[in-house]
Structure 1
Amino acid sequence: YGFHQFIQPSRVLHNELIPNAVSRYISEQGEFDVDIRINSMGLRDQEYTLDKPEGVYRILVLGDSPVVGIEVPGEETFPNQMEQLLNQDNPGRFEVLNGGMQGYSPILYYLFLKEKGLDFNPDLVLINFSVTDVTDDYDHAKRARFDEEGMPVSVTKDVQLEDQVSYVPFKQFLRNNSVLYHFIRDRYHRFQYEMKTEEAKIIGDEQTTNAPENSEESEIDLALATHLAHLAGKDLREDFFAIFNETFLPEEESAWQQTLVWLRGIHQLCLQNGIAISLIPVPQPNQVSTEEWKEGKQLWGFDADHMITSPHFQGRLKAFCEQERIPFINPLPRFREVSLQKQLFYPYDGHFNKEGHRVMAEHILDALTTRHIFPQN
């Protein structure tokens, strides 16, 4: 009952949702148990016609895990809640398509829009930018092929598709079926956040070197060593939490700039096709409140009361949007306000719960309306 049961490899998009797939996604901690249905177009959404109906305003929402929202039922994801709210007074007037996919980042948002999204003929594209996006872009670009202008044409490079995905199902099998794997992983994570950075680095190097190959133990060792490297490195290319840093090494800055290239590419595709666009930084739970993600953040090496106060992540994206003349929508202040009364993220998993999706939907719609991004009629 894992996410891998409804994804398939893609020679252009690295992986994608399987059209018409049906499965369940179950939290090991009992936080959610969700039926997952993928429509015939490979979206986690209800059925739509490829051709946009006459008189309909169509919105395409791009992003990764916060958008696809597999932790809540399909009707509770914020794209679906947006559609419900829009059509309360305008039945059938709006369609909001969920183009989210776990693990995607701007290089794949660009490819998805170019290869699939434009076929939906959207009137508006919403880019939801996650804190993982620069780090994931850096990783995806290693397997990408580019055209003569330096824009991506695929994210598989020359790696054989079978080789590229053979490792993933085995790791997912362990995650979904091995109690020992999760016992060791969770106990290990709870202990490791107390370790000093240098100790973590040394142990991580040793585990990486000594890990046995082709065994369940090697999978566990690799997972643990990867987390050790996260604690020790604090480099944006490896640790997505480094995106909140105020300054970056030249190599990290280069990774940031490359991600901005993909965002400009999305903007250009929209301009060329007469599509409106907006960019939305997705709030991280430990940006919102010390009470959010209380359990899960300790597994990432943070104190239970840790909160990120740096404005750098949202600030940098806002400056980029001002330069590129892209409407910028920042839900973080709204999340901080509502979080005083309601929990918006799962305590262990860390993704939006139903209320988090609701706040996201309402804030985006308020901003789109206030800024007159929707047509006046």
Structure 2
Amino acid sequence: MENYFQFIKPKKIKILLLLTFTWIIIPLFLVEILMIVFEPYLFKGLYQYDPDLGFRVRPYINGNNQFGFNDRDYPLEKDPNKFRLLVVSDSFNWAGGKEGNYTGLLEKKFDNYYGKSQVEVINVGYPGTHTGEQLAMLKKYGLQYNPDLVVLGFFAGNDFRDADPERKRIIVNGIYLDIDKKDELIIFGYPIIGKSRFFMFLQQKYKVYQELQKAKQDSAKLPNSSLIASLNLASAPILEREKSPGILSKKAFLRVEKSRLKFCKIKDLLDGKRDENINYIFQSILKMQKLLKSRNIEFVVAIYPDEYQVNNELLNEIFTEYDDLKPESYNLTCQQEILSKFLAANNIPYLDMLERFKIEQNNRPLYLLREPHWNNAGNLLGADILFDYLVKDTDKFFWENPSPYMEKDRINSD
């Protein structure tokens, strides 16, 4: 009898393993294959894979244009009698939607000043990108517009911090994934990663569910608030939500702001721990300057502040939540100081919005609640600052190139 059980036990184990392989392993493997092959058909969210950029915004979704930018379509052939400028940036070019974003508001200000459509302000930006990635985006899509001037919007909060020279941010089944450029593997036009797409998908949805529950709990404490839900935190379009707590809980938002603040730890800066990121941004800006100069396109850098730099209440919340952070250990405006010094040394025109935002923040909130982007007032202020700075360039253009359309508009208005 003992010999019988010794014989039957291995047999049962083999059967169990065979069943496991047949009913679990094979189906999971097939799911992985299907998620690769049918990705373009199964995942039609805001983003899609791009072999050159890693990802791009899908064209003509949520009102986007042919290149996936948060704007309408413009003819690629520029009218020589009109002034055309591109505003290149990241998710700041999405807050407020197409009409309420600072780029759309800037175009309206030029319309009021010169007459309709004399100055075309084209919004060129993908969320989740830094200057190095925006350079590639400008080369592939932006320069097809043949602009007279390019404004690079640089967000002090994370553009230095995210600028890893080896990073390539790709989109896999609708989810952001940062990979090392050296490890990128493309087979039949698809990125192959060393992780299970299926389990990544489940993990991402669970994280989103958890975060939305926390945000919902926080929203219950706020009057007249409503939750804007999203299936994917990483790929959610930035919507205007003045009275909403956003999609981040308070703790999650403070954690994000803490990570941005830590870039400016004085000791780390002195020890050179940020040099690789900083130099990568510098190289990208110099390449952008050289590229635009070769095409006789003017270049300006606009520096956008992080909320903790202008909102003392938020800054105090960060230091209260994380008592291990000591205010004296941080230079709160290190990003502006580092970048402006570099730009001045290389004769690159720039405008720093920090002081204007500091002043106006005392009068009204300029950022979305628990969101790092501008609200209506912030977008309007950003448009005002850019208009005041750029109008000298547009005045010079129209002085040298009188527009017959402008004269017609003036006659009609009279």
TM-score normalised by the chain length of structure 2 = 0.63
Q: Please, which of 344, 349, 367 is the counterpart of residue 327 of structure 1?
A: 349
Paired letter, 1:106: T
Provide the rounded CA distance (Å) in 1 between the counterparts of 2:321 and 2:149: 36
Of the structure 1 ranges 261-270 and 154-163, higher mean CA displacement relative to structure 2 is found in 154-163
Paired letter, 2:60: N
Q: Please, which of 80, 83, 87 is the counterpart of residue 111 of structure 2?
A: 87
Superposed displacement of residue 170, structure 1: 4.8
Secondary structure of 2:356's aligned partner: helix
Give CA-to-partner distance per residue, 1:199-228, whole Å, 9 cap, x none: xxxxxxxxxxxxxxxxxxxxxxxxxxxx8x
Q: Does 1:128 align with 2:153?
A: yes
Q: Does 1:243 align with 2:263?
A: yes
Q: Does 1:107 align with 2:129?
A: no
Query: Which structure ranks higher in relative contact order (CA pairs < 8 Å, sequence separation ≥ 6)?
Result: 2
Where do residues 266-345 of structure 1 align in structure 2 (5 Å cutoff)?
Answer: 266-291=288-313, 301=322, 310-345=332-367
Structure 1 unaligned blocks of 5 or more:
23-36, 145-153, 188-226
Structure-2 change in CA distance of 1:367 and 1:136 (3 Å):
same
Provide the rounded CA distance (Å) in 1 between the counterparts of 2:133 and 2:55: 10
- Count of residues in correspondence between the two structures: 299
Superposed displacement of residue 331, structure 1: 0.8
Secondary structure of 2:363's aligned partner: coil
Superposed displacement of residue 66, structure 1: 1.3
Q: Does 1:96 align with 2:121?
A: yes
Of the structure 1 ranges 92-101 and 41-50, higher mean CA displacement relative to structure 2 is found in 41-50
Secondary structure of 2:163's aligned partner: helix
Secondary structure of 2:160's aligned partner: helix
Paired letter, 1:241: L
Superposed displacement of residue 105, structure 1: 0.5
Q: Does 1:17 align with 2:49?
A: no
Q: Please, which of 92, 101, 123 is the counterpart of residue 66 of structure 1?
A: 92
Q: Please, which of 364, 378, 388 is the counterpart of residue 366 of structure 1?
A: 388
The question of whether the paired residues in 1 share the 8 Å contact of 2:307 and 2:314 is answered with yes
The question of whether the paired residues in 2 share the 8 Å contact of 1:283 and 1:332 is answered with yes
Q: Does 1:258 align with 2:298?
A: no
The question of whether the paired residues in 2 share the 8 Å contact of 1:63 and 1:101 is answered with yes
Superposed displacement of residue 19, structure 1: 0.6
Paired letter, 1:242: K
TM-score normalised by the chain length of structure 1 = 0.69
Provide the rounded CA distance (Å) in 2 between the counterparts of 1:271 and 1:302: 48
Q: Please, which of 66, 75, 89 is the counterpart of residue 40 of structure 1?
A: 66
Structure-2 change in CA distance of 1:49 and 1:265 (3 Å):
same
Provide the rounded CA distance (Å) in 1 between the counterparts of 2:144 and 2:384: 27
Paired letter, 2:100: E
Paired letter, 1:55: N
Q: Please, which of 77, 90, 100 is the counterpart of residue 101 of structure 2?
A: 77
Give CA-to-partner distance per residue, 1:148-205, whole Å, 9 cap, x none: xxxxxx99552344445948755553355x2x45446999xxxxxxxxxxxxxxxxxx
Provide the rounded CA distance (Å) in 1 between the counterparts of 2:341 and 2:281: 14
Secondary structure of 1:352's aligned partner: coil
Q: Does 1:49 align with 2:75?
A: yes
Superposed displacement of residue 95, structure 1: 1.0
Considering only aligned residues, what root-mean-square deviation do their CA atoms show, in Å? 3.6
The question of whether the paired residues in 1 share the 8 Å contact of 2:166 and 2:181 is answered with no
Provide the rounded CA distance (Å) in 1 between the counterparts of 2:323 and 2:150: 35
Secondary structure of 1:12's aligned partner: coil
Provide the rounded CA distance (Å) in 2 between the counterparts of 1:245 and 1:134: 13
Provide the rounded CA distance (Å) in 2 between the counterparts of 1:137 and 1:171: 26
Structure 2 unaligned blocks of 5 or more:
1-42, 170-178, 218-251, 400-414
